[in-house]
């Protein structure tokens, strides 16, 4: 960061915006005491903060942060999580009754219907997020930082979160809201601060900015085509999935994918989309069904089988399933390509490795200080680029993406779309899942819709609309409503 300024008022929602790598996370980590500033002044509630600010001191001063990856102890109850780190005691014994009562009081004040004795591990992600907010308020937070709070929520859960944010505003809590879903801002945001390349760009009331202006300030240029497309003739059938069943979430799924085609899978959360890709990739066991690649039956019992035959997956949870965060960027890119960069005696050819890494970093414009940087140190968007990029050297026949643009900025999204188009241009079959309807409509050549573990509809791009997709995505729910009606 270089000469950044930032201001937040009580009862205000300030959207902190910028591309991945712009410095947003660095700024909020300074405010919350995780990082130490090299220079400049920091003032909280009118008081100058002298010396180093650490997380404990920041929390005592009233600053709390809710990370994109929630920090909850799943084996503890809601009440125990809310009081974690400042438990109530009677002498040397935990006062669980008092913590239960106080947790219930703070949950009720936020109109959150949760039993304080429920194990957090049994809650949906949206409810866990509510517990994080309750925890912050119980600790008397006056500044609440929300980092991509809606990235894993359904539309109904997002509305519930917005109602809660309005309630926090009325209580005088100042909220720093970081999100790449710009369409959300209109519902809750008062002010906007935009950063680019570690520098402060502009601070303005949200009402005085258009979406195009916001994007232009973020990336330093106007993005005219948010969903770039490359038109090409569809080739031969490259992948054929027939009657796949896996657990209760994948029920008799069949479809075909063609060379040079981008096939989108739409549906509501819990429809079985991720589970279908995991079953095809061999990450989850299949109960029945067959898979053909380029007309030949193949057996996939584990991910290594899929990778060796040219079928790869960029998973939904990039930190848990897509990266080794304690390894360097170089090592992450090299790891699935060892057969390409090692000699027959298993010795790494460092020149070949360097070529592979430089190609990925250059083509995807990964922002990094060095390829030796740990993957954990990258911004979310750059982590996603590494997850996608490590497959580029494999000359794969089918590339599957699960929520490839979740948590990344507008410009990085366009780069991912362009990568999909490049794969399509090279005759590769692309299969992708997205919960963002405009993305599916803008990028896919053909769209499959899933509901209740089944494919309930198929649409060509020219005929697809949000209304048609939603009708197919709720087909079994609508049928059930009619039956009980």
One fold for 13-219 and 237-484: yes
Which CATH superfamily, name and number, covers 237-484?
P-loop containing nucleotide triphosphate hydrolases (3.40.50.300)
The closest alpha carbon to 235, from 262, 206, 261, belongs to 261
**166-175, 379-388, 466-475, range with the lowest pLDDT:** 379-388
Q: What is the crossing angle of helices 475-484 and 466-473, to 10°?
A: 60
Which CATH architecture does the domain made up of 13-219 adopt? 3-Layer(aba) Sandwich (3.40)
The pLDDT value given to residue 476:
57
The pLDDT value given to residue 160:
80
pLDDT band per the 50, 70, 90 thresholds, residue 303:
very high
**79-88, 423-432, 454-463, 475-484, range with the lowest pLDDT:** 475-484
pLDDT band per the 50, 70, 90 thresholds, residue 485:
very low
Average pLDDT over residues 427-434: 92
Residues 6+ apart with CB under 8 A from 292: 239, 240, 242, 298
Q: Which of 27-36, 226-235, 355-364 has the highest mean pLDDT?
A: 27-36
Q: Using the predicted structure, report yes or no on whether residue 290 has a pLDDT greater than 60.
A: yes
Could you report the per-residue pLDDT of 403-418, keeping only the tens digit for each?
A: 888 777 777 788 888 8
- The ranges assigned to domains in the chain are 13-219, 237-484
pLDDT-above-70 percentage for the chain: 95
Average pLDDT over residues 22-39: 88
**8-12, 24-28, 88-92, 471-475, range with the lowest pLDDT:** 471-475
Q: Using the predicted structure, report yes or no on whether residue 86 has a pLDDT greater than 90.
A: no
**60-74, 83-97, 329-343, 466-480, range with the lowest pLDDT:** 466-480
Could you report the per-residue pLDDT of 346-377, keeping only the tens digit for each?
A: 898 888 888 888 888 887 777 777 888 888 88
pLDDT band per the 50, 70, 90 thresholds, residue 481:
very low
């Amino acid at each position: 960061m270089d000469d950044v300024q930032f201001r937040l008022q009580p009862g205000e929602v300030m959207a902190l915006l910028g591309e991945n790598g712009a410095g947003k996370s660095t700024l909020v980590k300074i405010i919350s005491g995780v990082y130490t500033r090299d220079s400049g002044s920091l003032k909280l509630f009118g008081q100058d903060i002298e010396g180093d600010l650490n997380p404990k001191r920041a929390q005592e001063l009233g600053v709390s942060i809710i990370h994109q990856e929630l920090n909850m102890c799943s084996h503890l109850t809601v009440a125990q999580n809310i009081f974690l780190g400042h438990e109530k005691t009677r002498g040397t014994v935990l006062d669980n009754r008092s913590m239960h009562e106080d947790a219930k009081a703070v949950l009720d004040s936020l109109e959150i219907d949760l039993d304080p004795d429920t194990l957090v591990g049994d809650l949906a992600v949206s409810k866990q997020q509510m517990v994080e907010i309750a925890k912050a308020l119980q600790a008397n937070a006056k500044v609440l930082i929300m980092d991509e709070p809606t990235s894993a929520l359904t539309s109904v859960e997002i509305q519930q979160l917005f109602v809660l944010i309005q309630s926090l505003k009325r209580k005088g809590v100042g909220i720093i809201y970081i999100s790449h879903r710009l369409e959300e801002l209109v519902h809750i945001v008062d002010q906007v601060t935009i950063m680019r390349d570690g520098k402060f760009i502009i601070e303005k009331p949200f009402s005085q900015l258009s979406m195009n202006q916001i994007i232009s300030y973020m990336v330093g240029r106007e993005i005219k085509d948010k969903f770039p497309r490359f038109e090409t003739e569809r080739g031969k059938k490259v992948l054929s999935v027939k009657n796949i069943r896996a657990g209760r979430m994948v029920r008799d799924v069949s479809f075909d994918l063609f060379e040079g085609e981008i096939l989108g899978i739409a549906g509501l959360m819990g429809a079985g989309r991720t589970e279908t890709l995991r079953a095809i990739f061999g990450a989850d066991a299949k109960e029945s069904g067959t898979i053909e690649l380029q007309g030949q039956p193949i057996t996939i019992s584990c991910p290594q089988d899929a990778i060796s035959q040219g079928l790869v997956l960029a998973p939904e949870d990039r930190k848990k399933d897509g990266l080794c965060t304690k390894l360097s960027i170089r090592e992450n890119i090299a790891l699935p390509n060892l057969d390409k960069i090692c000699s027959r005696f298993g010795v790494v050819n460092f020149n070949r490795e360097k070529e592979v890494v430089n190609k990925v970093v250059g083509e995807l414009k990964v922002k990094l200080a060095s390829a030796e940087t740990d993957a954990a140190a990258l911004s979310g968007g750059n982590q996603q680029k590494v997850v996608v990029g490590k497959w580029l050297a494999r000359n794969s026949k089918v590339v599957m993406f699960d929520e490839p643009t979740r948590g990344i900025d507008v410009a990085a999204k366009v780069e991912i779309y362009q990568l999909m188009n490049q794969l399509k241009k090279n005759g590769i079959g692309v299969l992708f899942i997205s919960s963002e309807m405009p993305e599916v409509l803008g990028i896919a050549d053909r769209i499959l819709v899933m509901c209740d573990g089944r494919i309930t509809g198929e649409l060509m791009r020219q005929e697809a609309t949000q209304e048609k997709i939603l009708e197919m995505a709720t087909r079994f729910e609508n049928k059930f409503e009619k039956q009980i009606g």
